[in-house]
Amino acid sequence: MDPKPLANPISTLTYDQMPDMDGNADCTKTHQILSSAHIATEIPVEILCIIMELAMPPTQHFLDSTVIARDNRSSRSCLLQTLRNNVMVCRYWYNVGISFLYRHVVVLQSKHLFALARAVSNNRSLGEIILSLHLQCYVSVSQMATVSMAVDSILAATPNLTKFTLVPIMKRQPFLSHEFLRLVALKQNTPSRITNLHFRINRTLKDTLNLVPTFTYLTAFHIDMIIGENDELPTEHLHLAFLEELHITWHAYRHDMNAFSALAEALSLPSLRRLLLTSQALEDGMVFEPLLRKFGHSLHFVSLIRPYMNDRYRFYDFRRPLPLTPLLSMCPDLRHLATDTSIPIRIPAHAHLTWVDLWAPRRLLDPSEQSAVTLMPHKEKVKLPSLRGVRLLDMSLFSFSGARTPLLIPPDMVGSTESVIWSYSSLDLRHDPGLLYRQEVNEVDDVLAESLEHRL
């Protein structure tokens, strides 16, 4: 089976990969164009677009992974520098290629956020190109005010922006997330433009949720919460009309049940379709039952993951099974379920469940045999009349790509005879039918060589 070569479905620029885009850079100099005409101007625009696409960095399916993003700076820097050089060949190449540089922007360092703010302020046409902005950088206490102002100035100059992801990393002081969110909420342009928000909440759940209604068009919300025994729980009604995805990561405490009951009571989410729950406490289904009882009827995707389970966990086979029977009964329209495995696998009957993703330790995977469904007995599969496939996910990927992996790499991404490979400096990944796993370096080289031979 010959893997198909990867195109770049998402063209993404990460500003911290550009050597001259530091905090003191004159951003207007970044796009000085060679004015002399030469044979390059005779290349058809269709061919030139392909050239620009091929110069783009690796596909960003794992954009949410700080580990992958930050571990691949060197290789991506070279690719982005090549793309930037292409854009500056001549005026014709600039007009075609500039959108490839600015269409999807990723900022992983605050100094590059400030550089971007100056660039779009000095050249409004650049801001009009930006369609999405992903901000995932460390924010110190002294930077909170200036970062929030820089974000607001960028959003004021990007009228075509449709997706803005804010993932501030409050180094060593996660309790400051609430204060930073308060500053962001007070800005003129930011609250109504944020679509994806990921915040760590440390004993400020009630106060933080009180700020969320300001973000009118929020479509995805991930909260990583630590709730103390004496913390105030949310009581005010919170209506998020456009929220499609809610991801809750929490640390197990005895009063979790009260917190989830309060969340279910306070939240109004008419558009919710995806619910991701990540915690060691998932074995106690009563904890998250209030959320499923309220929102389960509209859910199409549910993820239940205990993240600490990995290949080094000796007694993986003896883990308590997750409470799937009440889950599926409360989610009549569920299409895609992602969960970790307990052996033997037992999936309750469900009329509409189409895909099942099972996180499993590497030792249970057998890439050579493509045996993704062998862990699920036939008598279990017949209880799912709409089932199209079962896929195993390598648990060692979780630390890289997290619980959203099944959404980033959907199970129907490859056909029955296809494979896809991603190569990063810190990770080599392969997607076969029914199997998504880390691959050894020599295996990647062999497969890519076979793919190249096939193409020739």
Name the one residue in this structure whose structure tokens are 């494979």.
419
Helix 73-87 / helix 45-54 crossing angle, nearest 10 deg: 160
pLDDT over 90 percentage in the chain: 20
Dihedral Cα 281, 344, 402, 9, nearest 10 deg:
-150
107/112 Cα distance (integer angstroms): 6
Question: Six-digit token pair at 247?
Answer: 């991801």
pLDDT at 456 (0 to 100): 28
pLDDT at 89 (0 to 100): 83
Residue 8: pLDDT over 50 = no
* E-only strand ranges, 146-239: 163-166, 196-202, 220-226, 238-239
Q: Mean pLDDT, the chain, as a whole number?
A: 76
Question: Six-digit token pair at 343?
Answer: 């052996």
pLDDT at 313 (0 to 100): 43
Q: 100-113: buried (b, 16+ CB within 10 Å) or exposed (e) per residue?
A: bbbbbbbbbbbbbb
Residue 174: pLDDT over 70 = no
Residue 57: pLDDT over 70 = no
pTM score of the predicted model: 0.78
List pLDDT tens digits, range 41-52. 788 888 888 888
By C-alpha distance, which of 235, 263, 237 is closest to 250?
263
Lowest-pLDDT range of 123-137, 247-261, 370-384, 386-400: 370-384
pLDDT at 336 (0 to 100): 97
Q: Which residue has the higher pLDDT, 309 or 325?
A: 325
pLDDT at 386 (0 to 100): 92
Residue 30 banded pLDDT, cuts 50, 70, 90: very low
Q: Is the peptide bond before 344 cis (omega within 30 degrees of 0)?
A: yes
pLDDT at 427 (0 to 100): 72
List pLDDT tens digits, range 321-373. 787 888 889 999 999 999 987 666 778 889 999 999 988 887 777 665 544 45
pLDDT at 381 (0 to 100): 76
- Give the SS3 label for residue 233: coil
Length of the chain measured in residues? 456
By C-alpha distance, which of 220, 341, 200 is closest to 273?
220
Q: Which residue has the higher pLDDT, 91 or 34?
A: 91
Q: Which residue has the higher pLDDT, 218 or 32?
A: 218
Residue 140: pLDDT over 60 = yes
List pLDDT tens digits, range 250-261. 876 655 678 888
Residue 18: pLDDT over 50 = no
Residue 413 banded pLDDT, cuts 50, 70, 90: confident
Rg, Å, the chain Cα set? 23
Q: Which residue has the higher pLDDT, 373 or 416?
A: 416
pLDDT at 12 (0 to 100): 44
pLDDT at 376 (0 to 100): 67
Question: Six-digit token pair at 181?
Answer: 């969110």
List pLDDT tens digits, range 434-443. 889 887 645 4
pLDDT at 167 (0 to 100): 82
pLDDT at 77 (0 to 100): 65
Question: Six-digit token pair at 401?
Answer: 């790509």
Dihedral Cα 329, 333, 337, 342, nearest 10 deg:
20
List pLDDT tens digits, range 64-96. 555 555 555 555 566 677 778 888 888 888 888
385/378 Cα distance (integer angstroms): 12
| Cβ pair 410, 303 in contact under 8 A | no
Average pLDDT over residues 216-230: 83
Residue 317 banded pLDDT, cuts 50, 70, 90: very low
Q: Centre a 10 Å sphere on the Cβ of residue 281 and count the other Cβ atoms it contains.
A: 17
